[in-house]
Structure 1
Amino acid sequence: MSAHVQMSPWEVLLILGAVVLVLARWLPLRLRAPVGVAAAAAVAGSGAVLGVLGLRWQMVPVLAGAALALPFAVTPLLGARTGRVARRAPWWLALPGSVACLALIAGGPAAAWALPTPVFPEPSGRFAVGTSVLELTDPERPETATAAPEDRRTVVAQFWYPARTGGKDTGHAQYLGRTQHEARVVSDALADYAGLPGILLDGLPRARTHASFDVPVAGEGERFPVVLFSPGLGGVRTQNTAWAEELAGHGYVVVGLDHPYDSAAVVLADGRTIRTKVSATGDDAEDEKRAAGWTAVRAADLSFVRTQLDRIHNGEIAGPLTGHLDTGRVAAAGHSLGGAAALQAARQDPRFAAVIDLDGAPHDPAPQPYPQPVLALTQAIGPDTDPEYIPRLTRVLSLGTATGYRLTVPGAGHLTFTDAPLYLPPLPSLVGSLDRTAGPRITAAASLAFLDSTLRNTPGDPAPALSAYGTLVVHHPGQDPKSAA
């Protein structure tokens, strides 16, 4: 569904009216007036409604094309009012103008296709999806990104969880934030971080997800395994919403984290907005040193939130998830730098039972053996891929004392494993060559196969299920890695 152009009925009416307005000039003279008037009315009416509801920038070229065609369409009316016969410009002069107007109008749906408002895939699990947000402060850990000695490390955590079926009727949460203001701030910050004009991502604050805020948890006292998620460098807690909702629909609680001063923008409960302080220097050695520092902070964030899960489950921190967290079955996960943080957090904290690394190169300066099974999903390896990426990842996976899996997904790019394919232009250099929904679907399916095996102890080897999605290399403890493709 999301691979198609997403437009409202009013936008469709605006485009059709504009096209007819251009073509009216080529109709027989007796039809030009009624057709032109009807088309002009459609454009004016739909444009007015969209102006009230919120006009997307993608519709601006449609209005421009209609405005250029309007004088030619209403000329017969002006001639009739003055009693003179309306004259048409020669066809060889009118044709380039009509083509130019149609090209402008076509730019509207083309832009809506390239940069759509994301439509999230319907979760396929048996549960509805609820969501809740908590702000968590670690009183024992100073905030190293500021000079104020009283500042303590604070993270914002968003939970996606299995909800009662009735939760689907309570209204769906918007993407990127709890409020329209937060969603707009985060959207603008993401665009700024990517070096894009904010208007290009104006569809993000309009998007709605499949989760409902603070609805009751499914089951009567049922406890669900937990997956903590750290986003990519400059990313935000909601960047993998499609993945999180799919996992929640299958009975997992997913917790996405905002890392202040690293995430593009973090909006706190007191109204403050913390923008990223992350920056590259261009010096490889210095940038690796900085990446190692950011990874260490994120790994500590993951362990801190892991500790808070016990307090949430016990009711010390109020919320809908009291009594519903299986804190003995918790996985660390992340994308890009977040994947590196998940690996490091697991190495440092044995309370994590498994790790999912979504295309993240390790930055642990002192990698050591760790006991957790790992699933590492990687982009398709090509000539532009960092040549140190796979060797570095392989060295870390080989340190595991449990079985590890490295799955390379054909056609995948670095952002394939996020929500980005749902709203960025489908260019291989940006989001890989898979269609808009294939990336989130494969990421979730592979994650579920791995999590069911490691957190739920589902009988059987997950390798056959994983190998269906790409080239699988299995790292058995103490053995050379073997391909399962």
Structure 2
Amino acid sequence: MSTTILRGALAAGAAMLALSVPAVAAGATAPAAMPSTGRRASSTTTDAANPAAVFALPRPTGPHPVGTTVLHLVDDSRPDPWVPEEKARELMVSLWYPAKAPSGRRAPYMTMKEAALVLKGLEARAVPANAVRLSRTRTNASLDAAPLGRERGLPLVVLSPGFTVPRSSLTALAEDLASKGYVVAGIDHTYESFGTSLPGGRTATCVACKSVDLPGLVKVTRTRVADVSFVLDRLTGPNPAWKGGGLIDTSRIGMAGHSIGGNSATWTMLGDRRFRAGINMDGTFFIPLPEKGLSRPFLMLGAGKIHQPGGGDTSWGRDWKRMTGWKRWITFDGMEHRSFCDYPLFAQQLGLKLDSSLSGPRTVEVLRAYVGAFFDLHLRKQSRPLLDRASRRYPEVRFWR
């Protein structure tokens, strides 16, 4: 990597990886969507008058109810890269999937401990009270609902979150994909998040946060590549960790990641041929693609200022030239780095400042549309003209290549 590219990538990466650094503006929350489970519903529009009002994720846009379950997976073939005295790598994985019917038990968004650690790391206000609200965010998924689908009938999308934030930060996107008939696996990369709740009341904190120089970010990338391939092994192997594993079509697997999770998608695809298509959501490419390039479909979705051609992140232009298959370079005006996860939905109420002119619900709508269209095209072979040209429905979207 040249000195100029390295300096630009690190500068951009530092700004993007440091999710704990505030910026300006705010989003709003969206209405709840599941059938009532008997729990009191609070409107997020009354937050100013009722500080205890719960948050809610937007309604999924697909036709199916959504189920979810949590897996604790242990890779005993390698020690933990961040805490080597732990002789195995533990991972928490959430699965979202189309369900036959709601189970009546609404899935939790995250644990109270995770919420408190994330809010502290993001420098939110009133952490104890807001941790309660964030952890109780109303999701649209039913816990452990029976999955819907036929043998080898469902495509799989793996989601890798941004550095320092947990897998729950991509729940709104995951629920939407699941409602459209995808199995979605969200991975917590242990010791890379402000907080990950593990079995037995244990909590892993962000050991990797001490390693935000280039060697550390390269290590994060390589660790995630190993994590993702291991999770895929456990979901699709002869004895799948999930009872619905037989529903996954192993010929239709994709990956999307936010920030360094998106950076990791290219190298996961290079190292694991099972992944047919990938998306980078606003992440710097810390390890340059090899000269031979990446020949499978790839979508680059970025915030307008930093990720348009000539913007602050020079790694996009460099790696774009080495992508030899189907590809698109798309940016969103009015969005910033944290717009690519759930947090703009709650930013204003939590005191998180965002340099974004789009509301939280709008950012979720736009992201769902383009991510869903990409996987429909490349995992289901369904025509999606949305990916070919600008759309009047989404005037904030710009096509660069």
Which bin holds the TM-score, normalised by the shorter protein? 0.7 to 0.9
What is the letter of the counterpart of residue 421 of structure 1? P
Q: Secondary structure at the match of 2:217?
A: helix
Out of 396, 406, 412, the residue aligned to residue 335 of structure 2 is 412
Which residue of 1 is the match for residue 271 of structure 2? 348
- Choose from 188, 192, 214 the match for 2:116: 188
Partner residue, 1:257: 187
Gaps of 5+ in 2: 1-26, 32-39
- Could you tell me which residue of structure 1 aligns to residue 223 of structure 2? 297
Secondary structure of the structure 1 residue equivalent to 2:208: coil
Distance, in Å, in 1 between the alignment partners of 2:201 and 2:352 is 38
**Aligned 1:9-408 pairs, distance under 5 A:** 109-110=47-48, 117-148=54-85, 151-164=87-100, 166-167=101-102, 169-176=103-110, 183-196=111-124, 197-199=126-128, 200-221=130-151, 223-279=153-209, 287-311=213-237, 314=238, 316-365=239-288, 367-368=290-291, 369-381=293-305, 387-389=311-313, 391-408=314-331
Q: Give the count of matched residue pairs.
A: 357
Tell me the amino acid that sits aligned with residue 140 of structure 1: S
Instruction: Give the match for residue 97 of structure 1.
Output: none
1:446-461 correspondence runs (5 A): 446-459=370-383
Q: Is the 8 A contact 1:371 1:401 kept in 2?
A: yes
Which deviations, in whole Å up to 9, do the C-alpha atoms of 1:195-248 show, x marking residues without a partner?
335234431112120101111111343621111111001110110111111111
> In the superposition, relative to structure 1, how do residues 459 and 212 fare at CA in structure 2: closer, same or farther (>3 Å)?
same
- Runs of 4+ residues over 2 Å off in structure 1: 2-6, 108-113, 115-118, 199-202, 219-222, 278-281, 317-320, 365-368, 385-388, 426-429, 459-469
TM-score (norm 2): 0.81
What is the distance in 1 between the residues matched to 2:371 and 2:30?
A: 29
Shift of 1:366: 5.5
Report the Cα distance in structure 2 between the residues aligned to 1:241 and 1:268, rounded to whole angstroms. Answer: 19
Inter-partner Cα distance in structure 2 for 1:223 and 1:377: 28
Cα contact 2:109–2:139 (8 A) shared by 1: yes
1:270 shift after superposition: 2.9
SS of corresponding position for 2:338? helix
CA distance 1:141–1:467, change in 2 (3 Å): farther
Q: Once structures 1 and 2 are overlaid, which stretch shifts more, 457-466 or 353-362?
A: 457-466
Q: State the Cα distance separating 1:3 from its structure 2 match.
A: 3.9
Kept after mapping to 2: 8 A contact 1:350/1:371: no
Instruction: Tell me, yes or no, if the aligned pair for 2:54 and 2:134 is still in contact at 8 Å.
Output: yes
SS at match of 2:59: coil
Percent identity, aligned pairs only, is 31
Structure number with the higher helix fraction is 1
* 1:334 counterpart SS class: strand
**In 2: Cα distance, 1:407 partner to 1:416 partner:** 14
Q: RCO (CA 8 Å, sep 6+): is it higher in 1 or 2?
A: 2
Query: Partner of 1:240: helix, strand, or coil?
Result: helix
Which structure would you say has the larger Rg?
1
Residue 369 of structure 2: which of 445, 449, 455 is its match? 445
Secondary structure of 1:330's aligned partner: strand
Question: Over residues 280-309 of structure 1, what are the superposed CA-to-partner deviations in whole Å (9 max), with x where a residue is unaligned?
Answer: 57xxxx712211111111121112112222
Q: TM-score, normalised by structure 1?
A: 0.68
Partner letter of residue 106 of structure 2? H
Other structure's SS at 1:406 match: strand
- Structure 1 stretches lacking a partner, 5+ long: 7-52, 59-107, 177-182, 475-485
| Residue 185 of structure 1: how far off its partner (Å) | 0.4
